[in-house]
Amino acid sequence: MIGLVVQRLREANLPVFIIDDGSTEPACSVIAALHDDANKIVVHRLSNNQGKGAAVTKGFQLAQAAGFTNALQIDADGQHDLNALHHMLALAAKHPDALISGQPVYDNSIPTGRKIGRWITHIWVWIETLSFRITDSMCGFRVYPLAPVQKLLAEEKIGQHMEFDTDIMVRLFWRGVAPVMLPLKVIYPADNTSNFRLWRDNWRITKMHTRLFLTMLMRLPSIFSHRPPKLVISKHWADLAERGGYWGLKFCISAYRLLGREGCKIIMAPIVLYFYLFGNKQRLASRQFLKRVLKHSPTFGEGYRHQMNFAMRSLDVFIAWTDDVKAITVEPTDPDQLAEFSNDPRGGLIVVAHLGNVDVARAVLDKKTQERITILVHTRHAENYNRLLRKLRPEASMNTLQVTEIGPETIIDLQQRVERGEWVVIAGDRTSVLSKEHSVFVPFFGADAAFPQGPWLLGALLDCPIYLLFCLQDGRRYRLTMEPFAENIRLSRGAREEGIRACVARYASRLEHYSASAPFQWYNFFDFWAR
């Protein structure tokens, strides 16, 4: 894995220092072979194994001696999602004096014992910092400001082994270095070999927390006088961590099966209230949107209604996929137009939005029609929700492609699907997961907002008819609207940007129209107008 990690770091134009902490063969030779001065890869070997903390400290010294003000630390085992690298570097550039740290979002590969151990450390860190701002202190993917780090290392003794990450983060917090947490996908590869020694390292961690707690008690006045500033971080929508655990979602489904939709709604009401009260980012984003649409500051009840609608939307998706057709009804606003579209042998591109409930519309389609649809999705920020949905109905993930995995070969495959008469579905209201630079700012409810170029570039490449699809709730039923957008998109070489901007502006205008008619069915709970 280390070669792949180094390759990705060099692709980001980062000089790399590899610290070989006294490894034995064959790792020693593999690591030594990576040294390449011309390519800015330096391997520094410690003759004896000194521990993770000692190795990272040596890396800090090498980076500072080379003239760097900040250093990115990353473990070499490939656990961390390097797609988040550009987000982390951007945050470090914006906040060079802060400690930028990954906040792991795990899949099912994490061992249960490791999960429990991490939660125990989280609790102790909250006590030691008298704060909840460090949401994970053990992640080995960070950007450090080197000046305060070297000052701390010169003045205090920091754990030299697996306790290092937590120890240095807590002590930097005490000295006023602000933490910035970035949600980050982390996996435990099946063939991964851990250097964590269960008894020895847990004993070291226990002693570290004891020292930190006692030190905190003795330094309370100093700690309170050096509280780090709270940094306002505008997160990309894909970086927002999922709220709600797997078993909580499963409980709601069980409540529905026992009590029906209305009974489940009563059960969910206090749960939604909790998330509404404590989900600051989502609540503020909701208020921001509603204020623009409603033309007044939303009341507490209107904000809560917005969140409740989202919860019921998610429940309706589960209901629809479990074949409860009596509870979910989808009716076309124009049956003739929908029939004409369905009977058209040509394939096409369908652009949807996070407005209403398009997933319900897909769930109630017959199997033959479902097989004609390929959906481009990004679900890695909502693993629990999609895991439960797949368990209830495997067909829910049929013909879906992650947008982070789309390359030239995928475009060719999509082109062949369209030529066979299939439909490709893509969201048009969320900026690119891979690069926020691939965005166009156009007017939306009175201010410029970022929209992706991707759907319209894809439409031009596929050279096919393009439709807009909206599915909005109307009382106890959903209304499905298919709206022709263009027979095809032609982008001339000299006016390519203008052509894309025109498509985006038209789409934003139609999205604004439908959003104004159903403002409480808008489900982009992030700062939609962020620059």
The last residue of a domain, from among 201, 233, 265: 233
Domain boundary among 267, 282, 314: 314
Are 15 and 146 members of one domain? yes
Tokens (6 digits) for 200: 């020895």
User: Do 145 and 99 form a contact (C-beta atoms < 8 A)?
Assistant: yes
Amino acid at 469: L
Residue in 48, 59, 55 with CA at minimum distance from that of residue 22? 48
Residue 85 maps to a domain? yes
Asked if residue 173 lies in contact with residue 215, where contact means CB atoms within 8 angstroms, the answer is: no
What sections of 26-163 are H helices per DSSP?
Answer: 27-32, 52-65, 85-94, 112-129, 146-155
Token code pair at residue 171: 């002590």
Q: Give the pLDDT score at 520.
A: 96
Does residue 292 lie in a domain region?
A: yes
Collect all residues with Cβ–Cβ distance below 8 Å to 141 and sequence separation of at least 6. Answer: 73, 74, 75, 80, 84, 88, 101, 102, 184
CA separation for the pair 100, 129 (Å, rounded): 17
Task: Give the residue numbers spanning the domain of 184.
Answer: 2-233
Q: What's the pLDDT score for residue 117?
A: 75
Asked, for residue 323, whether it belongs to a domain, the answer is: no
| Residue 470: its H or E element | strand 466-474
Q: How many residues does the chain have?
A: 531
Name residues whose C-beta falls within 8 Å of residue 392's C-beta, 6 or more positions apart in sequence. 253, 318, 321, 322
Report yes or no on 167 lying in a domain. Answer: yes
Task: Say yes or no: 354 and 214 in one domain.
Answer: no
Q: Which helix (H) or strand (E) holds 461?
A: helix 454-462
DSSP 487-518: S-----GGGHHHHHHHHHHHHHHHHHHHHHH-
* 141/251 same-domain check: no
**Would you tell me how many other CB atoms lie within 10 Å of the CB of residue 460?**
20
Q: How far is 417 from 306, CA to CA, in rounded Å?
A: 37
| Other CB atoms within 10 A of residue 280 CB | 8
Q: Which of 307, 311, 308, 327 is nearest to 319 (CA)?
A: 327
Unique residue bearing structure tokens 């903390």: 53
d(CA 423, CA 369): 10
Let me know whether 191 and 86 are in one domain. Answer: yes
Chain-centre distance of CA 184, in angstroms?
Answer: 7
What does each C-alpha distance from 160 to 55, 143, 201 come to in angstroms? 8, 19, 11
Examine residue 415 and state whether it is found in any structural domain, yes or no. Answer: yes
- pLDDT per residue, tens digit, the chain (531 aa), is 888 888 889 988 899 999 998 888 888 999 999 999 898 999 999 888 888 889 999 999 999 999 999 999 998 877 778 888 888 888 899 899 999 998 887 766 676 766 777 788 888 899 999 888 888 888 889 999 999 999 999 999 888 887 889 999 999 999 999 999 888 777 766 666 666 666 677 788 888 889 899 999 988 888 888 888 877 565 554 454 444 444 556 666 777 778 777 888 888 888 889 888 877 888 899 999 999 999 999 999 999 999 999 888 888 877 776 755 556 788 888 888 878 877 888 888 999 999 998 888 776 665 666 677 777 765 554 455 455 555 555 555 556 666 555 567 777 888 888 888 888 888 888 876 544 457 889 999 999 999 988 889 888 888 899 999 999 998 888 899 989 999 988 888 778 888 999 999 999 999 999 999 999 999 988 888 887
Residue 18 domain flag: yes
The H or E element containing residue 473 is: strand 466-474
Same domain, residue pair 361 and 485: yes
- Of the residues 173, 201, 233, the one at which a domain ends: 233
Domain match, 229 and 262 both = no
Within 10 angstroms of residue 216's Cβ, the number of other Cβ atoms is 16
Residue recorded with tokens 């000194």: 50
Q: Do residues 134 and 265 both lie within one domain?
A: no
Same domain membership, residue 266 and residue 119: no
- Same-domain check for residues 308 and 445: no
Quickly tell me which residue has 């985006």 as its tokens: 504
CA distance 494 to 508: 24
Domains identified in the chain, total number: 3
11 and 86 Cβ atoms separated by less than 8 Å: no
DSSP one-letter string for 395-454 = GGGTTEEEGGG--HHHHHHHHHHHHTT-EEEEESSS--SS-TTSEEEEEETTEEEEEESH
Of 513, 487, 489, the residue nearest 500 (C-alpha): 489
pLDDT value of residue 244: 47
Tokens of 236: 């990309």
In a domain, 392, yes or no: yes
Q: 184, 139 in Cβ contact below 8 A?
A: yes
- Both 449 and 390 in a single domain? yes
> 99, 177 in Cβ contact below 8 A?
yes
**103: which 2 tokens?**
């906040």
Inter-residue contact 431 to 451 (CB < 8 Å): yes
398 Cβ contact partners less than 8 Å away, ≥ 6 residues apart: 370, 371
109 plus 30 within the same structural domain: yes
Query: What's the rounded Cα separation, in Å, for the pair 294 and 272?
Result: 22
Cα-only R_g, the chain? 26
Instruction: Say which DSSP state 121 is in.
Output: H
Whether residue 529 is contained in a domain is answered as no
Whether 380 contacts 356, CB under 8 Å: no
Residue 73: give its domain's CATH number: 3.90.550
The 3-state DSSP class for residue 16 equals: strand
Q: Tell me which DSSP letter residue 192 carries.
A: -
Tell me: do 63 and 198 sit in the same domain: yes
What is the C-alpha separation between 359 and 161, in angstroms, rounded?
48
Q: Angle CA(147)–CA(152)–CA(157) in degrees, nearest 5? A: 150
